[in-house]
C-alpha cells in the first residue's frame, strides 16, 4: 500500500520549489531527515544524494538516492521523482521510490503540493508486520506533519524551528491538562483526555490532520520516475 499526502499551500511556486529542492532548506522542515546532501554529478545527469536520519542520539541511519525534476511543464505543473535505498542493517526501509507534484489550483489561490511513495521493508516477515502496524503509519504521519510545517513557513513565515517549539508547547499543554484532571478531578480524566485529542491544533502549530491522506482520484507515478536507475542499477 503506497503512501499519499497532499497539502494546499498558498505560496509562489518558485518559493515552494526552492524550499523542497534545495537540501539545506528541505532538511529544515522534513521530519523524516536529519541531513540531506547532494553528491557531485555531471551537468544534465540525474542528481545523486545522500540522506541521514538520527533515530536515537547515538544512532544515525543513512542511505543514498537519485532524483530528477521537471521544472517546466506545458500544463504549468512541476514534478520531482526519486529512488532511494539504505544499506544500513538497522534500517527497516530497504529501498523505494516516490515523487512530488506541484499543481497550481484552478482558482489561482495556492498550490496542491502532493507526494506518493512506496518502499520495500527488510527483515523478512517480521519487517513486513512491523512496517504495516507501526512504521508505515508513522511515516505517513511524519510526512503529513512535515508538509503542514512547510505550509506554515511559506504562508505565515513561521520557521521550521519555531514550528517545532510551538508543537512541543502544544503537546505539553495538553498533557498538563490531563494530569491536572487526574489529580483534581479523577472522574473527568478520561473525558479530558478525549477532549485534548479532539481539540483542534493552534493555527501556528503543525498538524498532520490538515493534510489529505487519501488520493482524490486514481493517481499515477510520473513518467520521469521510470528513467531513474534503481538502487541495484546504481551500484552496478
What digits encode the pLDDT tens for the residues 210-222? Answer: 999 988 776 777 7
Mean pLDDT of 196-221: 88
Measured between alpha carbons, how far is 36 from 145 in angstroms, rounded to an integer? 19
Lowest mean pLDDT among 1-5, 76-80, 142-146, 151-155: 1-5
- Nearest alpha-carbon partner for 208 in 2, 5, 1: 5
Which residues partner with 53 through β-bridges?
A: 61
Mean pLDDT of 122-142: 93
Helix (H) or strand (E) holding 56: strand 47-56
Mean pLDDT of 125-148: 94
Instruction: Indicate the DSSP class of residue 106.
Output: T
- Position 71 scores a pLDDT of 84
Instruction: Indicate the DSSP class of residue 133.
Output: I
Q: Grid coordinates standing for 156?
A: 505565515
- Report CA torsion sign: 39, 42, 47, 48: negative
Share of the chain above pLDDT 90, in %: 62
Question: Using an 8 Å Cβ cutoff, are 36 and 49 in contact?
Answer: yes
Look at residue 235 and tell me whether its pLDDT is greater than 50: no
Cα radius of gyration rounded to whole Å, the chain:
19
Q: Band of the pLDDT at 229, cuts 50, 70, 90?
A: low
- Position 233 scores a pLDDT of 52
Measured between alpha carbons, how far is 38 from 24 in angstroms, rounded to an integer? 10
pTM above 0.85, yes or no: yes
- Start-to-end C-alpha separation, the chain: 29
Q: Band of the pLDDT at 1, cuts 50, 70, 90?
A: low
Over residues 10-22, the pLDDT tens digits come to 999 999 999 999 9
Measured between alpha carbons, how far is 99 from 150 in angstroms, rounded to an integer? 17
| 63: number of Cβ within 10 Å | 21
Cite the DSSP H helix spans in 55-206. 124-130, 136-156, 160-184, 189-198
Question: Quick one: how far is CA 1 from the chain centroid?
Answer: 16
Question: Using an 8 Å Cβ cutoff, are 128 and 121 in contact?
Answer: yes
Measured between alpha carbons, how far is 206 from 177 in angstroms, rounded to an integer? 20
Q: Grid coordinates standing for 32?
A: 523524516
Amino acid at each position: 500500500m503506497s503512501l499519499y499526502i497532499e497539502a494546499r499551500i498558498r505560496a509562489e511556486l518558485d518559493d515552494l520549489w526552492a524550499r523542497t529542492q534545495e537540501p539545506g532548506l528541505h532538511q529544515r522542515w522534513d521530519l523524516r531527515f536529519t541531513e540531506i546532501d547532494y553528491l557531485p554529478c555531471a551537468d544534465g545527469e540525474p542528481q545523486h544524494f545522500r540522506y541521514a536520519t538520527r533515530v536515537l542520539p547515538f544512532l544515525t541511519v543513512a542511505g543514498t538516492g537519485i532524483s530528477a525534476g521537471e521544472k517546466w511543464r506545458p500544463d504549468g505543473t512541476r514534478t520531482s521523482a526519486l529512488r532511494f535505498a539504505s544499506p544500513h542493517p538497522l534500517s527497516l526501509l530497504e529501498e523505494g521510490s516516490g515523487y512530488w507534484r506541484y499543481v497550481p489550483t484552478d482558482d489561482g489561490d495556492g498550490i496542491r503540493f502532493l507526494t506518493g511513495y512506496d518502499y520495500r521493508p527488510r527483515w523478512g516477515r517480521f519487517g513486513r508486520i512491523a512496517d504495516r502496524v507501526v512504521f508505515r503509519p508513522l511515516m505517513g504521519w511524519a510526512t503529513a506533519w512535515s508538509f503542514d510545517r512547510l505550509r506554515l513557513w511559506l504562508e505565515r513565515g513561521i520557521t521550521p524551528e519555531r514550528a517545532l517549539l510551538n508543537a512541543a508547547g502544544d503537546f505539553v499543554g495538553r498533557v498538563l491538562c490531563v494530569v491536572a484532571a487526574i489529580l483534581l478531578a479523577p472522574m473527568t480524566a478520561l473525558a479530558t483526555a478525549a477532549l485534548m485529542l479532539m481539540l483542534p491544533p493552534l493555527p501556528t502549530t503543525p498538524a498532520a490532520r490538515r493534510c489529505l491522506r487519501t488520493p482524490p482520484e486514481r493517481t499515477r507515478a510520473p513518467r520521469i520516475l521510470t528513467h531513474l536507475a534503481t538502487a541495484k542499477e546504481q551500484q552496478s
